[in-house]
Structure 1
């Protein structure tokens, strides 16, 4: 049986960047992607790049965006792009670097790994195939291999007390962006508590600001829409549609709201439509169970998110309780016929903004993001706004519906990300790296979790894996001086 130098679980942007770098360093690598599409969110609709400070993006990450630019006839990086063009660039990487990709390979949920001491030996797929490796990498959004390997992790929001932070845990006081209009009655029958709360509304926040809980920031699909009549199919009312699930939308309209999701433009009359305002594409409060859910349960959660968004589009275009002005604004938009053709023109990639987060040798927290505490072993930089979406809706102290959890805080500049934040504790696993579900607090992850950064970290992780193999060492024992030298040689931005 073949033993790979590096087994990469997850054909996300991070996983593919890792595979390119592994090949450049002479490693025999394989990429195992659970779905049938490469690229994760970068090819799944997120075409309006959350780049932060462009000067912090180097290496293969920058190469990806420059290749996109060339596809649009420019020598400059393209930060706005169509999903199909991103997929084409990833396929360029695969062909140019001879990457061994296996699609539809998902971890066996009952017997996923073989370990010897603190080292992974092999991983087993649902297909029954077994992949042996000397080094392993988890580049999925869920951290499934990390968990299977026995690595410690967190979900939900830590209390501010855990890492000495200010913006972790429950956040009602600063949740002013993407907030509902003031004055929305929370009850099914306005003014009648006996009628029950509207769908998705909790009676209270569940604790004080700064207190930890189990909740995670909301998910959605990044919707690629078009108003081109020659390349458009309209969204029909989804099966199981229930207008009661849009009562908050109707009441927001009554309070003067007019915009409910973004129409950010990408080339060729298409959009990357993301969450905007208080009732939008984010399906707030319906994803808390996702990190630990079974495959079937995750599929049901994803289907519910798709149903919510298709219903949102249909409601804004057709429902009689939506004013004609708003219906007319959204009326021209439908799904592009030339995108996601294998999935009824809808992205197959749910925007998993946060799932499991490793608790490794070093936990990135807001003190590192704000440069209050130093990082001595950078392998890349982040720079995007501290960006955590809402986690729940609840009744406020004055009796109205409010969103809770949205934290949007600009940074003074880029910050370094520690090598130790992508490695487990050595006693747990000595030959695994985790550049996506890395070791970070909830609120720090809100800034780190951007696709350009994931590609940076994937490349750096593969470099570290190669050096570990070269020195017959654990990933924890890699000589950081050698790692830094190679990263800088390959164009990574560290300082």
Structure 2
């Protein structure tokens, strides 16, 4: 696939010039996030008339906005069009699938979905009102540069990060953190932990030791509340920063608007408090992307997170949000400039950052800066079912799952405050939680719909119904895309049967997603995972949970064992076969694999040194080859551990990908 840098402004101009005063469609998707594009495409492929409305000027949300180092958790959780998106990313870079990428590559793919779907997109159309009647949205009104545009639809899908349509429709929601006793959780509410934290002893006052001098910038005056107590505070936002060290593709880091070095005084004190931390990676998660670029994220006590400066964002009007967004942009650009120029920055760190600049070929219509603030959490619906910590850890398993999540329960810091410890006042961050170790789990269909009686024709796959800490696990871009697809399938069923979204059968949604994973009738992959498929085993295989497995667990043996993956092939044809290879320290030097198809038998030794796992994924698919496989169950893949006992041989998952779909 060739990737072109598409100019969103062109689409914007066309959209505004051809905007009608009134639109009437089957499905209106509000919010052009990654979930929004996938939802609109899915609904259109189901034969529905669709309108995608984006209040800003760009599509793809965080996926095109710099988050190229994908938060995934476990690949097993991602299916359908969401997985196909990362397969297309892979094809662009010459791989089967890839989860790290440049922003413009993602933008090109989303524009392709719009083109292939053939649905119109309205850019810079901002929601003003939602009119309801008899518990359903009848129409919404949009402000398009001063012009009022009206949209009526049978079903609406809110794919914004903020939940604006949900709120305008009068659906119940919450903002902030619940106390632990609300849903019998342990990781919700106030949490003063060690992650991304200041060391003890960093003075919080403008004049060290003098409370009367006032607090340094970025510290709030709130007292530390009881552990686990709830509040309306929101975890920090930031930008996922795309820079480059290619001199031929670089715009220098210069002094930004409203630069104020006093904002970074705490960082200067942090340098003094930890003199052995002197590199960029000590203060930023500096993830490398293809073609000499980055996806930079928050790290340590003071970094790209603008802690405590977003509390008003969720409920704010568009003008106030723009101010908050600009404050975050000024802060972040100022942070980069401070690190590049201030004499208090450690010399090794400063020498490193001077090699970087903004990429000329990214965000060409937005000053080479991401147009998407990382809105990690805003409103959360209080829907027909509320996902909680118990769902994440598997203590409670829903039976109406239409998608899966797999990431750690993750919350960034929520406030920066003063605590008194060992006779001294010092600055600390509060709110960071990172608790994982659980397998993929289902996300309830009821968490995507309002409570019965509130709104009968609205689906909410992004600001879904979840507690703060459960949302921290679910809120990942691949999951949003998968849930966007699920809501579009549900929308189609609701229209076909003329029923409220609350009456849609989740099992039917799940069945359609399994039968038609790419939304256009193409044949899906045949996946065989050891935990869910019938695997023929010989010898002593042990079941190992987690540790980089695909799904819940994997089979592991050191010697004298065989595992046979025998798929049921519905259609004769060429299939490319892949073996899942987990990221383990004690993998065998060579995994012996045999592929048998008809009378042909091929040995494919997989060498540990040849498998490179990229990004946050727990393992990698290794291509075994392309084979002509007859209909039926005669073909198989055999994984064996010899008699040497040199490391673990793993039998986890095998996938058969049809070459002609």
Name the TM tier (shorter chain).
Answer: over 0.9
Give the whole-Å Cα distance in 1 for the aligned partners of 2:507 and 2:470.
26
Q: In the alignment, is residue 447 of structure 1 matched against residue 473 of structure 2?
A: yes
Give the whole-Å Cα distance in 1 for the aligned partners of 2:300 and 2:496.
51
Alignment-derived partner of residue 56 in structure 1:
77
Q: Deviations over 1:186-232 (max 9, x none)?
A: 11111111111111213454410100011111000110000110001
**Displacement of 1:481:** 2.8
Q: 1:178 and 1:117, CA in 2 relative to 1: closer, same or farther beyond 3 A?
A: same
Alignment-derived partner of residue 347 in structure 1:
370
Question: What secondary structure is seen at the aligned counterpart in 2 of 1:51?
Answer: coil
Question: What secondary structure is seen at the aligned counterpart in 1 of 2:127?
Answer: coil
Give the whole-Å Cα distance in 1 for the aligned partners of 2:253 and 2:402.
43
Q: In the alignment, is residue 302 of structure 1 matched against residue 322 of structure 2?
A: no
Alignment-derived partner of residue 154 in structure 1:
174
| 1:461-472 aligned within 5 A | 461-472=487-498
Correspondent of 2:33 among 5, 12, 17: 12
Cα RMSD (Å) of the superposition? Answer: 1.4
Output the TM-score relative to the length of structure 1.
0.97
Alignment-derived partner of residue 121 in structure 1:
138
Give the whole-Å Cα distance in 2 for the aligned partners of 1:478 and 1:24.
19
Alignment-derived partner of residue 559 in structure 2:
none
| 1:91-170 aligned within 5 A | 91-108=111-128, 112-127=129-144, 128-170=148-190
Q: Deviations over 1:352-411 (max 9, x none)?
A: 000000001000011111111121100110001111000011112312111100000113
Give the whole-Å Cα distance in 2 for the aligned partners of 1:217 and 1:388.
6
| 1:12-91 aligned within 5 A | 12-74=33-95, 76-91=96-111
Question: What secondary structure is seen at the aligned counterpart in 2 of 1:381?
Answer: strand
Alignment-derived partner of residue 613 in structure 2:
none
Whether contact under 8 Å (1:93, 1:99) holds in the other structure is no
Where does the alignment leave 5 or more consecutive residues of structure 1 unmatched? none
Give the whole-Å Cα distance in 2 for the aligned partners of 1:411 and 1:105.
42
**Displacement of 1:252:** 0.4
Question: What secondary structure is seen at the aligned counterpart in 2 of 1:263?
Answer: strand
Alignment-derived partner of residue 284 in structure 1:
307
Where does the alignment leave 5 or more consecutive residues of structure 2 unmatched? 1-21, 519-526, 533-661
Output the TM-score relative to the length of structure 2.
0.73
Give the whole-Å Cα distance in 1 for the aligned partners of 2:114 and 2:157.
18
| 1:210-359 aligned within 5 A | 210-256=228-274, 257-258=277-278, 259-359=282-382
Runs in 1 of length 4+ with deviation above 6 angstroms?
492-495
Give the whole-Å Cα distance in 2 for the aligned partners of 1:373 and 1:300.
41
Q: Deviations over 1:454-484 (max 9, x none)?
A: 0000000000011111111000001233222
Q: Deviations over 1:80-115 (max 9, x none)?
A: 00000000000111111212211111112xxx1121
Give the whole-Å Cα distance in 2 for the aligned partners of 1:97 and 1:477.
27
Q: In the alignment, is residue 401 of structure 1 matched against residue 427 of structure 2?
A: yes
Give the whole-Å Cα distance in 2 for the aligned partners of 1:120 and 1:475.
12
Question: What secondary structure is seen at the aligned counterpart in 1 of 2:499?
Answer: coil
Alignment-derived partner of residue 191 in structure 2:
171
Whether contact under 8 Å (1:170, 1:205) holds in the other structure is no
Alignment-derived partner of residue 490 in structure 1:
516
Q: In the alignment, is residue 422 of structure 1 matched against residue 448 of structure 2?
A: yes
Correspondent of 2:225 among 207, 210, 218: 207
Whether contact under 8 Å (1:339, 1:345) holds in the other structure is yes
Whether contact under 8 Å (2:392, 2:438) holds in the other structure is no
Give the whole-Å Cα distance in 2 for the aligned partners of 1:409 and 1:479.
33
Of structures 1 and 2, the one with the larger relative CO (CA 8 A, separation 6+) is 1
**Displacement of 1:2:** 4.4
Q: In the alignment, is residue 378 of structure 1 matched against residue 404 of structure 2?
A: no
Q: Deviations over 1:404-427 (max 9, x none)?
A: 000001132101100000000121
Give the whole-Å Cα distance in 2 for the aligned partners of 1:443 and 1:238.
35
Q: Deviations over 1:326-373 (max 9, x none)?
A: 211211111000000101000010000000000010000111111111
Give the whole-Å Cα distance in 2 for the aligned partners of 1:205 and 1:316.
31
Q: Deviations over 1:101-153 (max 9, x none)?
A: 11111112xxx112111011111101201011000010000000000000010
Alignment-derived partner of residue 463 in structure 2:
437
Give the whole-Å Cα distance in 2 for the aligned partners of 1:304 and 1:48.
24
Alignment-derived partner of residue 541 in structure 2:
none
Give the whole-Å Cα distance in 2 for the aligned partners of 1:318 and 1:471.
63
Give the whole-Å Cα distance in 1 for the aligned partners of 2:62 and 2:220.
30
Give the whole-Å Cα distance in 2 for the aligned partners of 1:298 and 1:3.
29
Larger radius of gyration: 2
